[in-house]
Structure 1
Amino acid sequence: MRTQLSDFLNKTTEKMKIKLGIVMDPISTININKDSSFAILLKAQEKKYEIYYMEINDLFLIKNNSYARTRKLKIEKNKKKWFFFKEEEYIALSSLDVILMRKDPPVDNKFIYATYILESAEKLGVLIINKPKSLRDYNEKIFATYFPTIIPETLVTSNSTLIRQFLRKHEDIIIKPLDGMGGVSIFRIKKNDPNISVIIETMTKYETSYCISQNYLPEIEQGDKRIFIINGIVFPWCLARFPKSGETRGNLSAGGIGKPEKLNDNDFMIANNIAPILKKMGLLFVGIDIIGKKLIEINITSPTGICEIESYCDISITELIINTIEKEIIKRKKISG
């Protein structure tokens, strides 16, 4: 049955000649062995998609129509030269079938404005992954608080007194910015830490900026898990990330060691609890982070970890993403046709 579906999708999408746009950070700066956007693009190129490369500054709006400066992109898995631009072209975003919004955080004003431009294209039938409105509405750190029974004790505030009270209660906490990624500016504070004041001042920018605090979970020593949810379906493997010696962060960019693992029953319970809600919100490719039995974050901007998992198991995440794109495009063509 799966082969029949794959054959059908291949035949149908071959006739459509899918045009895929991607908004990402400069492709010249990526590590192709670890970059999830690159892995998705490789699979799209294998499927004969036309790929239109954009950076966030390339997007613009005239009246209520969205446009971009694009470059046709060809890629190859070559560490010396992995991308080639063909012709540069200004296009209406509505001429594309799908756009991947893969710009890394921070979700700053420029990112927010870009979602409005992408939303204009979405209204004309373009599939945007992930849905622009949901990217605006759901902060990756705060989003987890929508599921209070499966998260650690959590405080979001810019008030230093409240943070100190939270620390006195739990004696060992993690504090991090709301717009960070890759483990940047994540601090662990214990009750007698001599740097409490300076950490709180730094994180709240002297009570002018919100941050998030959570009770420390000792299960981090067994790794935190990046779990993928694709179009409401939980992928059965995760990337467990173990902190290096002397660290509390499992993030690979902070020196953590990644190891693919099969999901356990608790992982499935948490992920399946969230999955239908994500799909309903138009969040078709999401990475959630779990430590022990607790949900920590819901990554909706540009989740990573594809390459590490695909190098280990024989189920393709990128194939599932491409199949999702093709099913959604076929559905939209039927509705509009």
Structure 2
Amino acid sequence: MKILFVADPLESFQIYKDTTFSMMREAQKRGHTLSACAPKDIMWQRGGVVTAFVRDIRLTGQSPDWFSAEQQAPNERPAALKEFDAVVMRKDPPFNSEFFYATHLLEQAEREGARVFNKPRALRDHPEKLAILEWPQFIGPTLVTRDAQDIRRFHAEHQDIILKPLDGMGGTGIFRVKEDGLNLGAIIETLNKNGAETVMVQAFLPAIAQGDKRVLVIGGQPVPYSLARIPQGGEVRGNLAAGGKGVAQPLTVRDREIAQAIGPVLAERGLLLMGLDVIGEHLTEINVTSPTCFQEIFDQTGFDVAAMFVQALEAAQAEVHSGAGPSGIN
């Protein structure tokens, strides 16, 4: 296959832990050819098709010069997205207006014949904080609101709460307010900007001490190991970007129950890869933009998540190409 990765600049990758790099490495190992671009490199003009200015790359197996590219800025090669066998959307959050616009360009490319994973419409329809609302049986006490009084009532009921913005990533903007309500007013003002922005509020889950587990689901099937991201020091956040320690562990019965209920449904909608965040017994987020933790799981368990992903990508692309794929993938 010819695979185009839409991602952050390659020069910014930290290849010892980068999931997109592990995907690329496995794809090249299996004989596929690689190209890369950023969302800013995608364009459409009337009379033409959605085109990206791409670099054709090959991994070198060395660091820091871990790839070689046939093209360099500003001389990237223009290529229609429909010319690739698979376009893998791996742009990191935040899910902002530019990410939103990129999904529209990618969806136009689909109408022209491109095969995009994860499906652009599915990326738009499943914002990572709000996607959990479809499965209330798996989540803890949760409130989504712009109203400060709603938040105060929720705090009075649950005493110990977590507040977070809907567009955050890597644990940014997350606050805990305990029973004393210290700084609750200031935190509400910071997050909801005087009622202008929506906030998610959840009851604090003490099981965070054992880790915020990332449960990966590929092609509707759970990876058999999660990565528990365990808060360190006085932190309440387990995110690796916030200093959490990643510990791979086999899925629990509850992890598997959640993954097997949600995974096939979202795979049918076009989400080839997703990351479910689970604290204790409760689902807290569904990550669909660029789920990570492939390399940490492989390094600690030997389970090759990248191989599972590329195999699923090959199968999905073959189904789409033959017209035999499920309705959510076509």
Q: TM-score, normalised by structure 2?
A: 0.94
For 2:203, which of 215, 221, 228 is the aligned residue?
215
Q: CA contact under 8 A between 1:127 and 1:328: conserved in structure 2?
A: no
Match of 1:72 among 30, 53, 56: 56
Quick one: which amino acid aligns to residue 92 of structure 2?
D
- Unaligned 5+ segments in structure 1 are 1-17
1:191 Cα shift? 2.9
Secondary structure of 2:50's match? strand
Deviation string, structure 1 residues 142-180 (Cα, Å, up to 9, x no partner): 001110011011111111111111111100000111111
1:211 partner letter:
V
Aligned to 2:225: 237
In structure 2, C-alpha distance between the alignment counterparts of 1:77 and 1:197, rounded to whole Å: 52
CA contact (8 A) 2:118 2:272 kept: yes
Deviation at 1:192?
1.4
Cα distance in 2 for partners of 1:49, 1:179 equals 34
**Aligned partner of 2:28: which letter?**
Q
> Which of 149, 155, 158 is the aligned partner of 1:161?
149
Give the whole-Å Cα distance in 2 for the aligned partners of 1:209 and 1:75.
42
Corresponding residue of 1:19: 2
- 2:27 paired residue number: 44
The answer for unaligned runs of 5 or more in structure 2 is 325-330
Compute the displacement of 1:322 (Å). Answer: 0.9
The answer to whether the aligner puts 1:303 opposite 2:287 as a matched pair is no
Match of 1:278 among 233, 252, 266: 266
Indicate the SS of the match to 2:301: coil
Shift of 1:327: 1.2
Question: Which SS does the other structure have where 2:57 is aligned?
Answer: strand
* 1:45-102: CA deviation from partner (whole Å, max 9, x where unpaired): 1122221111111001123721111111122343322222213310111101111111
Q: What is the distance in 2 between the residues matched to 1:177 and 1:294?
A: 19
Partner of 1:265: 253
Q: Report the Cα distance in structure 2 between the residues aligned to 1:187 and 1:263, rounded to whole angstroms.
A: 28
Q: 2:43 aligns with which of 54, 60, 70?
A: 60
User: Which amino acid in the other structure matches residue 231 of structure 1?
Assistant: G
Residue 248 (1) aligns with residue 236 (2): yes
Q: Residue 318 of structure 2 aligns with which residue?
A: 330
C-alpha distance in 1 between matches for 2:262 and 2:49: 34
Say if 2:160 and 2:177, in contact at 8 Å, map to a contact too: yes
Aligned equivalents of 1:150 and 1:195: distance in 2?
30
Which among 307, 317, 320 is matched to residue 319 of structure 1?
A: 307
User: Quick check: 1:56–1:114 contact (8 Å CA) kept in 2?
Assistant: yes
Contact 2:272/2:313 (CA < 8 Å) preserved in 1? Answer: no
Which of the residues 6, 9, 14 maps onto 1:31?
A: 14
Per-residue CA distance 1:13-60 (angstroms, 9 max, x = gap): xxxxx1100111111112111110011011111122221111111001
TM-score where L is the length of structure 1: 0.92
1:311-333: CA deviation from partner (whole Å, max 9, x where unpaired): 12232111111111111222233
What are the superposed Cα offsets for residues 241-296 of structure 1, whole Å, 9 maximum, x if unpaired? 11002111110110100011001111111111111111111001011000010000
Shift of 1:123: 2.4
Question: What code does the residue aligned with 1:78 have?
Answer: Q
- Could you tell me how far apart the structure 2 residues matched to 1:125 and 1:287 are? 27
**Identity rate, percent:** 39
One-letter code aligned to 1:191? E
User: 2:113 aligned with 1:129, yes or no?
Assistant: no
Deviates further, 319-328 or 140-149: 319-328
Opposite residue 330 of structure 1, the aligned amino acid is A
